[in-house]
A and B are shown apart, each in its own frame.
Chain A
C-alpha cells in the first residue's frame, strides 16, 4: 500500500534464539494500531527491523512499500520514539532537536512549534541531564514529530508519563491518525491501550497471535482486553507463521 506498514514473514534469529518468527501483518493509515505482547515477545526487535536498526534474518519490513534504508528522507517519512533512544546529557533539549534537524535536512524553524506541541518550550534551554523521565519521553516525541512524518512508530511511549501526559499523548496520537497518518504503538499498559487504539496486533514468542479491530478482540467472548490478551499470549506449542483464528 502507498502509506502504511507491511511486515511479511519477518524473522530474526540471534544464534539459537528466535526472537521473531515469520511475522506477517499490516498496519493501515488513518487509525491507531496497538502492538501488544508480553516481555520478550519480539515487539522491540520487530520495530527495530522496521527502522533499519536491526537486519532481519528473513522476510521484509516495509514502510510505505519501502525498506527504511531506501527512504529518501527518512525523518519525513517515519517518526520513531524508542526506549533506547538516548540523549547526550550535556546537550540542551533544543540543541538535541537542532542536531536532528541538521542531520535530517529538516528546517530549523519547525523546532519551536514541536517543542510547544509536546509542552517542552520552557525546558528546552536546559541540559537533558536535568530532565525527568517524562520530559525525556516528550523530547523523544518532539524529535519524532520534527519531520512531520507520514508514519509514527512508538515503543512504549507512555512510559514515565503522568496521567495528564498520557491523556495528551492519547489526543496527539488520535489526532495524527485522524490526519491520515499511520500510527503503530507498542505498549504494556492495556488500560491505556484500550482508550487509544482502534486495532490491535498481539505477538508472543515472536509469533502473531491476533490481528484485528479492538472491538473484535473483546466483543467476541465479552472478555476484557486483559483477559483476551492473557488467553492469547499464554505459552503454547510453536507454529511458525501462524495466522490468528480471528481474521484480519
Chain B
C-alpha cells in the first residue's frame, strides 16, 4: 500500500493539469474578498473577518473536480489500463487515491487560505480598520474551509470512479451544485442541511453562510460529508473490481 500511495503522489507530481484546477482557488478568494469589501461590507463588524475567510470553503468545487480527475482522468487518458495491470487489486488503487488526493487538496487549500488571510489583512489595513489576528471565528472558518476542500476531493475520487466518464462526472457535479441541490433543498425544506453542498458550507463557513436556512454544526457537517464520501467510495470500489476495462 505504501508503494501505491507513493505512485499516486508521483502521478500527480509529474503532470500539470490537476494543479491548474486547484490554482483557481487563490484568484477566486482574492476576488471574492475584494468584492465583499468594495460592495460595502462592514469591516467594523467582528463577524466580517470570518465572512471573508469563508470564501476559502467556496473553492471546494475545484477540489471536487480535482478529485474527479483521479479515476475519471485515468480513463480519459487510458492510463487506467496500466494502473490496473500494475495493481490488479483495484480496491487498493482507489484507497490509495483516497489517501493522496484529499491530502494534496488540503495543502493547496492551505495556500489559498494564506492568500485569503493576506488579502483580508491588506484590505482591513487599507481601510484603516484594526485586523484581529486572533479572531477564533476566522481561524475556525479557515480551518473548516481546508477541511471542506479535503473532503470534497475525496468525494470527487468516489464520483469519478463510479461515473468514469470525465466530462459526464464534471458536468453532473457542477449541475448538482449549481442547480439540483438548490431545487432538492427547496423540496425537502429543513432536511436540506443534510445535502452535501449544504453540509460543505456548514463546515467551511460556519453557522452563517450564503445559503438560507439553518445549517449543521461544523462537526456534524464533517461527519455527514465523510459518510457521503464513504458511500461513494464503497460503491466505486465494488463496481470497479468487477468492471471490464475495455
Complex: A17 Cα to B85 Cα, angstroms: 26
Q: Determine if A68 and B88 form an interchain contact, defined as CB atoms under 8 angstroms apart.
A: yes
Query: A216 an interface residue at 8 Å Cβ cutoff?
Result: no
**Chain B min CB distance to A12 (Å):** 9
**Chain B min CB distance to A186 (Å):** 16
Interface positions of A from 66 to 103, Cβ below 8 Å from B: 68-69, 71, 74-75, 80, 82, 84-92, 95, 98-100, 102-103
Complex: A88 Cα to B11 Cα, angstroms: 10
Contact of B15 among A84, A85, A88 (CB under 8 A): A88
Q: Determine if B82 and A85 form an interchain contact, defined as CB atoms under 8 angstroms apart.
A: yes
Contact of A84 among B78, B87, B88 (CB under 8 A): B78
Complex: A75 Cα to B84 Cα, angstroms: 11
Query: B245 an interface residue at 8 Å Cβ cutoff?
Result: yes
Q: Determine if A86 and B84 form an interchain contact, defined as CB atoms under 8 angstroms apart.
A: no
Residues of chain A within 8 A of B6, CB atoms compared: 102
Residues of chain B within 8 A of A82, CB atoms compared: 81
Q: Which of B7, B82, B246 gathers the greatest number of chain A CB atoms within 10 Å?
A: B82
Closest to B93 in A: A103
Q: Determine if B88 and A103 form an interchain contact, defined as CB atoms under 8 angstroms apart.
A: no
Residues of chain B within 8 A of A178, CB atoms compared: none
Contact of A102 among B10, B16, B245 (CB under 8 A): B10
Complex: A227 Cα to B161 Cα, angstroms: 47
Contact of A98 among B10, B15, B87, B245 (CB under 8 A): B10
Q: Determine if A86 and B81 form an interchain contact, defined as CB atoms under 8 angstroms apart.
A: yes
Complex: A52 Cα to B240 Cα, angstroms: 12
Residues of chain A within 8 A of B78, CB atoms compared: 84-87
Q: Determine if A87 and B79 form an interchain contact, defined as CB atoms under 8 angstroms apart.
A: yes
**Chain A min CB distance to B153 (Å):** 19
Q: Determine if A74 and B88 form an interchain contact, defined as CB atoms under 8 angstroms apart.
A: yes
Residues of chain B within 8 A of A91, CB atoms compared: 14-15
Given the contacts A85-B78, A87-B77, A87-B79, A102 and B85 also touching, CB distance less than 8 Å: no
**Chain B min CB distance to A215 (Å):** 34
Residues of chain B within 8 A of A103, CB atoms compared: 3-4, 7, 83, 86-87
Interface positions of A from 93 to 128, Cβ below 8 Å from B: 95, 98-100, 102-105
- B1-29 contact mask (Cβ, 8 Å, vs A): 1 or 0: 00110110011001111000000000000
Q: Determine if A104 and B14 form an interchain contact, defined as CB atoms under 8 angstroms apart.
A: no
Contact of B14 among A53, A85, A92 (CB under 8 A): A92
Q: Determine if A54 and B85 form an interchain contact, defined as CB atoms under 8 angstroms apart.
A: no
**Chain A min CB distance to B182 (Å):** 35
Q: Determine if B81 and A100 form an interchain contact, defined as CB atoms under 8 angstroms apart.
A: no
Closest to B242 in A: A55
Query: A51 an interface residue at 8 Å Cβ cutoff?
Result: yes
**Chain A min CB distance to B37 (Å):** 38
Q: Determine if A75 and B86 form an interchain contact, defined as CB atoms under 8 angstroms apart.
A: yes
Question: What are the 4 closest A-B residue pairs judged by CB atoms, nearest first?
Answer: A86-B78, A103-B7, A103-B86, A102-B7
Point out residues on A near B: beta carbons under 8 Å.
48, 51-55, 68-69, 71, 74-75, 80, 82, 84-92, 95, 98-100, 102-105, 143
Point out residues on B near A: beta carbons under 8 Å.
3-4, 6-7, 10-11, 14-17, 77-79, 81-89, 242, 244-246
